[in-house]
Amino acid sequence: MNNNHPLHPGERLWRAIRSLRCFTISDLRMMVEIERQPAINFCRALVRAGYVVRESVSRTYARGRMPHYRLAKDPGPNLPVEIGRA
């Protein structure tokens, strides 16, 4: 993956989430160019903090279950403080 991004991965993920509003981990990985597990961990932190809700789960042949997420609370363009640079 390309590591020539000026922003921290958490900041890039947050911008992608705000842009997409509804998304999957695969959507984020395509937009942000990040590995799967850091994207999953970031989404879990956002769910715990109440910024994102898990809407549904679809089944895929390649990965099994694929959760769909929705941005529930948007405090603005800056990464929420309690999420930090996860």
Q: What is the pTM of this model?
A: 0.82
Q: What are phi and psi of 53, to 5 degrees?
A: -120, 145
* pLDDT at residue 7 in the model: 84
Domain spanning 9-71, CATH class = mainly alpha
- CA 74 from centre of chain: 13
What is the structure's pLDDT at 66?
Answer: 82
What would the pLDDT profile of 24-57 be if each residue is shown by its tens digit? 999 999 999 999 999 999 999 999 999 999 998 7
Which of 47, 32, 30 is closest to 83 using CA atoms?
Answer: 47
The pLDDT value recorded for residue 3 is: 55
Candidates 27, 29, 12, 31; CA nearest to 70 is 27
Q: What is the model's pLDDT at position 40? A: 95
Q: In this predicted model, what pLDDT tens digit does every residue of 52-79 receive, in sequence order? A: 999 987 766 666 678 899 999 999 999 9
